[in-house]
Amino acid sequence: MSRRGVVEPTSAPSSRFDQMDGLIIVGRSGQPIVLSRFRNPHPAYPLVHVDHLRDVVMASQMKQDAGLTSSSSATSERDIPPVLAVPAAASLEMVDEEEEDEEETESSTDSDGSISGATPIPSMPDEANAWSEGVDTTSNKQSAPPPRQEDITPLEGGSVLCHIKVGELRFLCPVSREIDPLIPLAFLHKVVEVLQEYLVGSTDPTLLTEDLLCDHFDVVYQLLEEMLDGEGNVLLTEINSLKDIVLPPSWLDKLVKTVGLNSASERSRTTLASPLPWRRPNSKYAKNEVYLDLVETVDGIVQSDGTPLALDVWGRLECSAHLTGMPELVVSFNAPSMIENAAWHPCIRQRTWSEKQKLCFIPPDGTSELGTFHIRSTTSGAMGRSALAEKNKALPIAVVVELGDYTASQGGLPFEIQVEPSLAQSNTLEHVCIEWLLGDGVHGVDAAPQIQGIASKLASSSDIGTIPNMAQAAGSMVFDRKRQLLRWSIPSLSPTTMAVLQGTIMSTGPSRPSYAVQVQFSMAGYSLTGLRTSSIQLQQEDYVPNKGARTLLMGQLEFRRLLT
C-alpha cells in the first residue's frame, strides 16, 4: 500500500504482509449476519471478536447511562477506537493447538501401539505450526503437505480488531499478524462502497440495512469471494470489474434468469480480457459526457472575535464519466503547485503528473474518486499568519455565540447564536448544522430559531404563502437529553439573511456549557483556496463529449464563544 489509506485494486493476491484474517458484518442486534472465509479454521474465532466488540459497546453505553463522567467527556459509542486489542483470541488459539496435539498423540498411539518416550513434545499438525514460531514442523506422515514458510510475525497477546460503523451495520476485520492498520480499515471502506453501489445506488449510510443484505445474500457472498480470499489477501476491488463477474441485482438480471439465458458466463469471459480493471470493455453510451467535482474540506478553529486560530484544507477530485471506447483525458489546474501529498487513483499516470503537473488518465466508468490531496496556501507554505489572514477574509460563514448569567427567575441561562454568510457573493450556505454540548444539569432548552434581515422582502410580497417558507428557512432545533447536546439544523441560508437562535438553557442550577460550538456547512460553486479545474481535454477518440467542472466547499469548524 503505497498511498495514504488507499487499497490498490489488483487481480493478484497482495503481499503476505497485507494479509487479514477475514471479514465480518454485524447486524443491528450485535449478531454476525455475514462471514467470509477465515485463515483460522476454528469456528469460534470470528465469534470471539464479535463478542469483544459487543462488550466494549455495552460497557461504553452503560458508563454513559450511569453518568459516571460528565456529558462533555463521556465515552460515547462513536468514540470507540477503530482498532481494538482482543486478548481472548490468544487463549482460543492455544486451546485449539492443545486439542490438535491431543488428537495427534492419539493417532500416533493407535498406529504405533505406544508413544516413544524419547520425544519430549509431540509433533503438531501443520495447521497449528503455521501460527507458531520456532517450532519444528517435521512430520513422519508421508501424506502431510510441506509446511508453509512465512516471514510474518504473529502479534503478541492475541489479535486486533479493525472496525467501522455504517448506519446500523458494523464491518469487522480481525488481524493476527503484523500489518498497517490503514490496510484493513481502507478495505472495509471499500467493501462498504461496493455494497452501496450494488444494493443501494447511494452513499446514504441509512439505506444499507440488515434486511437489505439478507435479501441479497447470494450477491454479498459472491462479492466477498472476489474481493478477499481464504488467506486474507485482497483480490479485486474495482467496481467496474466486479460488475462483469458478479451481476448486480436488477430487474433485468431477474428477467434474464427467468427466461433461461446465461448472461453471466458471457460477461465473465470478457472481464479477464480487459486491460484496465477500472473500466469495462466495449463501453458504449448514446450520450458522451464527463464532469469533474473539486471538493474542498476545511477543518479548523475560529476564535470568538472571528480570527482563525488554525485552518487546514484538503481536496478531493471526483469524476463522473460516461464515455464510449477507450478515451484519454487530460485535466489541468489553474494552480497545480498548491496540490501536495496527493493520493491518486491507479488510472492516473504518475510520471505525467510529476513532470507536467497535469492529470492524464483513462477514466473509470461511472462515478469514481480520482484522488485526495492537501491544498497548501499560496501565501506561505505552512499555515502562517499571512495565510490565516487571507483565509479569514474568505471564510463563507460567521458564527457568534453569547451566553448570559444564570437567573433563577428564568430558570436557566439566556443565550443567543447568530449565523450569517460572510461573503458578498450570491452563494448560498447549505446544510448548516450547529452542535453545542451544554453540560450536566440541563433538562431542556426553551428557544426558537428565526430569520432576520428579510422584513423588507416580506412587506413587499403580496403572496401570503411565502411566510411559512420563512419559518422553515430558520431550520429546526432539537435537544438530545442523553448526550446533553443542542443541535440546530438550517437547510439553507442566503447571503442577505441571518439566522438567530435565542432562548434559555433550562437547568436546576448554574451549568457550564462548552466553550465552543461545532459547525458544519457546504457551499456550492465556491473555492476557499482558489484552486479550480482549468481545462478538460479528450484524446484518442473523435467525438466531442459534454464536459464541465465545478467546485464545492465543505466545512467542519469550531467556533469559540464569547467569554463573559
Query: pLDDT per residue over 238-266, tens digit each?
Result: 888 888 788 888 754 655 556 655 544 44
Residue 378 is predicted with a pLDDT of 54
Average pLDDT over residues 176-182: 88
Coil vs helix vs strand at 175: strand
Q: Among 166-180, 406-420, 483-497, whose mean pLDDT is lowest?
A: 406-420
pLDDT for the residue 111: 44
Amino acid 300: pLDDT: 92
Average pLDDT over residues 317-334: 94
**Residue linked to cell 480481525:** 174
Q: Which residues lie below 8 Å from residue 263, measured CB to CB, with a gap of 6+?
A: 247, 253, 256
Helix-then-strand count for the chain, H and E: 13, 21
Q: Are 530 and 370 in contact (CB under 8 A)?
A: no
549 bridge partner residues: 292
Closest CA to 6 of 207, 238, 252: 238
Q: pLDDT class for 89, splitting at 50, 70, 90?
A: low
> What pLDDT is stored for residue 174 in this prediction?
93
Give pLDDT, residue 508: 79
Local structure of residue 144 (DSSP, 8 states): P
Residues in the chain: 564
Contact status, residue 323 vs residue 288, Cβ threshold 8 Å: yes
Confidence grade of residue 93 (pLDDT, cut at 50, 70, 90): low
> Would you state the pLDDT for residue 561?
81
Q: First and final CA of the chain: distance in angstroms?
A: 51
The pTM of the whole model exceeds 0.85: no
Q: Is the pLDDT of residue 274 over 80?
A: no
Of 232, 259, 306, residue with least CA distance to 39: 232
Question: What's the pLDDT score for residue 400?
Answer: 92
Give me the percent of the chain exceeding a pLDDT of 70.
70
245 to each of 274, 281, 430, 486, how far by Cα in Å? 12, 13, 40, 48
The single residue listed with the C-alpha cell 444499507 is 208
**Dist. CA 231–CA 152, nearest whole Å:** 13
Please state the rounded mean pLDDT for residues 507-521: 87
For 9-15, what is the mean pLDDT?
Answer: 43
CA distance 516 to 297: 20
Amino acid at residue number 458: L
- Average pLDDT, integer, range 447-470: 50
Binned at pLDDT 50, 70 and 90, residue 134 comes out as: very low
Indicate the SS3 state at residue 273. Answer: coil
- Specify the pLDDT at position 173: 94
**Tens digits of residue pLDDT in 475-509:** 889 998 888 899 999 999 888 889 999 999 888 77
Domains and CATH numbers, the chain: 24-67+75-89+155-258 (3.30.450.60), 289-378+530-553 (2.60.40.1170), 397-454+471-525 (2.60.40.1170)
Q: For the chain, give the mean pLDDT.
A: 77
What is the per-residue pLDDT for 490?
A: 93
Count CB-CB contacts under 10 A for residue 102.
11
Instruction: Render the burial of 517-542: b for 16+ CB within 10 Å, e for the rest.
Output: bbbebbbeebbbbebebeebebeeee
Q: Give Cβ neighbours of residue 44 (< 8 Å, ≥ 6 apart).
A: 92
